[in-house]
Amino acid sequence: MSKPSRFAQKMAGKCCCLWIILSFIISAHCLYMEGELRTVDTWAFMSRFCFLSDIGRLRFEIEYPKSFAVQNLILYYDDPDQWDAVYPVDSAPLKTCHEKESAIRPENHQVINLTTSFVWSGCVSQSTDEEEDQEWIATYGDEEKFDCKGGRSFRSVRDRWWYVVLDNCESDRGLVVKYKLTMTNGESFFRKHFSADQFGMPETDMLFLGFYICILSLTYVTTSILKQKQLLHTTYKLYVVAVILYFLCLCCFIIYYFDYARSGTELYFFRLMGRIFQAMSDALFLLMLILMAKGYTITRQHQANTLFLFSWYSLALGRISNSGSIKITVLMTLYCLAYAGLFIYESVVFDPGAVLYFYESPAGFCLIVLRGLTWIWFIYAIFFTLKHYPEKALFYVPFFFAYTVWFLAMPVMIVIATLVMPKWWREKAMNAIELSIALIAHTGFLILTRPSAANSNFPYHVKTSQIGCVMEPDGTLQNNVDGFAHHGINGNIFQSERHQTNFDELFTVGYNSSQETAAVNKYSGQATTTTSNGRRTDADITSLFQVNGQNGSNNLSHQKI
């Protein structure tokens, strides 16, 4: 066999490294944890969990070479003089291993001595296994090890975050341990493996999934009506895609929660895909709001624009000015980059020993600033549109107030969650708030644009089949550089039949008042002709179709019968 090429070897090495990194990321998020810890430090963080009082329980299985005794499991809780005093390691007030141990209160039984001298640790002394512990024997020369199996329950005045640490302040070789940690809250399906700050999240997501099934059903009906009426514009299609993406987001989260409840380990792929679908839905909805604020498909026509690479995006920016198109492109690019930064920061940079909110990062704060700047642009665009189309106020006034709340709600709640909310219930509270904000925004748009004669807010008045026919005969648009005609009824074509398009008139030939016109009296067989000087003459109708023998053509004295 031929040897693999250097390129293949490099790619195999990179794939192996990627697999190791992904495996670490996945295992780092599991509430059932299994692995081996080796470090030169004498104090090392292992895991954290928010336990309920009385029913919260930690189970552990730990093995380590006897030469590394005495190693301890230490349990800190979320008081300022406890965990905040010892972590992060580099910036905490208490620096050394002994100083960190001094924060423990002996009466709370926060130390588990992992030797046979402490009966509650469940430790026994065993000979090292030649197969399983071969590396230990070769590296450290130990013929015996401690094998500890035990547990600890928790009692407190409220739900608390507990932090599991391994230490050996007397060691000069660091720490070595094989471990299995299982942290639970009771035995019910949606409680057992969930941290107390996540309680209710699966049920909340399932409830909102039901709401979104209803919204999708109503959206399908509305889309069918708009398509039948030839009013299904690009902005409404963006809304439909945003709702579908949010529905897929909830589906991914529910799959993740069910598997997590069953096994205690995390399907990181579904969690990540849920976040991605949520970010895409948010970005598309934001794009739709900006386009509608600028009057796109409401006061501006859309035509193909070859400036942009993606067909749906070029369709969305078709009739927006070049400067506006560039601004929207830059905004959406920055928005996508900020979300990508959030995902990368959470996976790589987030400290597992700190309880951090998803947006609690530089990328998250950048997203807040972008949301605020976009809101200012949203206000300016609506003001400019209403200045030229005041009759559209029935739509734009409620549109402005409703989605100003949407723009500001998430940044305000993120700041409150980061600075004010207690960490032991922040995640479940913010999950419900995020879902509620999205649901209200999507439902509000569905109500605001419902195709009903009773809806005076209905924004669309030009059919999709007429987009190319709204110009004057000289090729210029009717109102401004890219506008539709002004409509006194705010563009709601459902209010009266007289505002519906007469398709017969699309094929008639226009003429000036100076031209001669003829009206035929079908009862008398006479034709009345009006000349350019205003005089009326009567003639037999047959004379209108006389053949001119000189040129062989029919001379008609009228243009329309």
Express each pLDDT in 218-266 by its tens digit. 999 999 998 998 888 888 999 999 999 999 999 999 999 999 999 888 8
Mean pLDDT value across residues 149-169? 92
Residue 475 lies in a domain: no
Higher pLDDT, 306 or 40: 40
Top-confidence range, 25-34, 190-199, 444-453: 190-199
What is the pTM for the complete model shown?
0.75
CA angle 367, 373, 374 (to 5 degrees): 85
Residue 501 lies in a domain: no
503's tokens? 């398709």
Mean pLDDT, the chain, whole residue set:
77
* Segments forming the whole domain that contains residue 531: 512-561
Last residue of a domain, one of 185, 206, 229: 185
Residue 14 lies in a domain: no
CA distances from 238 to 2, 185, 245, 282, 328 (A): 54, 42, 11, 11, 15
Report d(CA 249, CA 340) in Å as an integer: 16
Residue 279 lies in a domain: yes
Q: Are residues 172 and 202 in the same domain?
A: no
Q: Are residues 165 and 235 in the same domain?
A: no
Element (H, E) at 182: strand 175-185
Name 32's Cβ contacts closer than 8 Å, sequence gap at least 6: 180, 181, 182, 183, 193, 263, 264, 265
Q: At residue 539, does pLDDT exceed 50? A: no
Residue 21 lies in a domain: no
Residue 528 β-bridge partners: 519, 538
Q: Are residues 164 and 201 in the same domain?
A: no
pLDDT at 510: 43
pLDDT at 92: 85
pLDDT at 470: 43
Q: Are residues 524 and 441 in the same domain?
A: no
Q: What is the tens place of the pLDDT at every residue in 546-561? A: 444 444 444 433 333 3
pLDDT at 454: 62
Q: In percent, how much of the chain has pLDDT > 70? A: 72
330's tokens? 């830059």
pLDDT at 526: 45
Across the beta sheet with 160-167, what order do the strands follow? Answer: 43-51, 160-167, 72-77, 111-113
Total number of domains constituting the chain: 3
Q: Are residues 178 and 202 in the same domain?
A: no
Report d(CA 181, CA 47) in Å as an integer: 9
Residue 453: pLDDT band (50, 70, 90) is low
Q: Are residues 71 and 127 in the same domain?
A: yes
Higher pLDDT, 521 or 264: 264
296's tokens? 């796109």
Higher pLDDT, 348 or 208: 208
In this structure, of 215-229, 264-278, 417-431, 482-496, the range with the lowest mean pLDDT score is 482-496
Q: Are residues 315 and 221 in the same domain?
A: yes
Higher pLDDT, 315 or 79: 79
Peptide bond before residue 70 is cis, with ω within 30 degrees of 0: yes
Report d(CA 547, CA 556) in Å as an integer: 9
Q: What is the tens place of the pLDDT at every residue in 4-24? A: 444 344 444 444 443 333 333
Higher pLDDT, 75 or 137: 75
Is 404 within 8 Å of 396 (Cβ atoms)? no
CA distances from 385 to 234, 278, 291, 480, 484 (A): 18, 30, 11, 11, 12
C-alpha closest to that of 446 among 276, 274, 221: 221
pLDDT at 463: 67
CA angle 529, 535, 540 (to 5 degrees): 35
Q: Are residues 517 and 443 in the same domain?
A: no
Is 274 within 8 Å of 249 (Cβ atoms)? yes
Phi and psi, residue 3, nearest 5°: -70, 145
Residue 454 lies in a domain: no
DSSP string, 142-177: -SEEEEEEEEEE---SS-EEEEEEEE-TT-SS-EEE
Higher pLDDT, 458 or 330: 330
Q: Which residues of 169-208 are buried (b: 16+ CB within 10 A; e: fewer)?
A: eebeeebbbbbebbbbbeeeebbbbbbbbbbbbbebbeeb
pLDDT at 546: 41
Q: At residue 380, does pLDDT exceed 80? A: yes
60's tokens? 């552990």
Residue 473 lies in a domain: no
Q: Are residues 255 and 395 in the same domain?
A: yes
Residue 157: pLDDT band (50, 70, 90) is confident
Mean pLDDT value across residues 358-367? 84
Q: At residue 119, does pLDDT exceed 90? A: no
Is 405 within 8 Å of 396 (Cβ atoms)? no
C-alpha closest to that of 55 among 149, 197, 155: 155
Is 54 within 8 Å of 155 (Cβ atoms)? yes
pLDDT at 456: 72
Report d(CA 197, CA 51) in Å as an integer: 9
Q: Are residues 435 and 336 in the same domain?
A: yes
Q: Are residues 419 and 335 in the same domain?
A: yes
Higher pLDDT, 374 or 479: 374
Report d(CA 358, CA 279) in Å as an integer: 13
pLDDT at 319: 56
Last residue of a domain, one of 128, 153, 185: 185
343's tokens? 């995902």
Mean pLDDT value across residues 206-227? 95
Phi and psi, residue 112, nearest 5°: -115, 105
Q: Are residues 59 and 176 in the same domain?
A: yes
Q: At residue 434, does pLDDT exceed 90? A: yes
Report d(CA 198, CA 207) in Å as an integer: 15
Residue 361 lies in a domain: yes
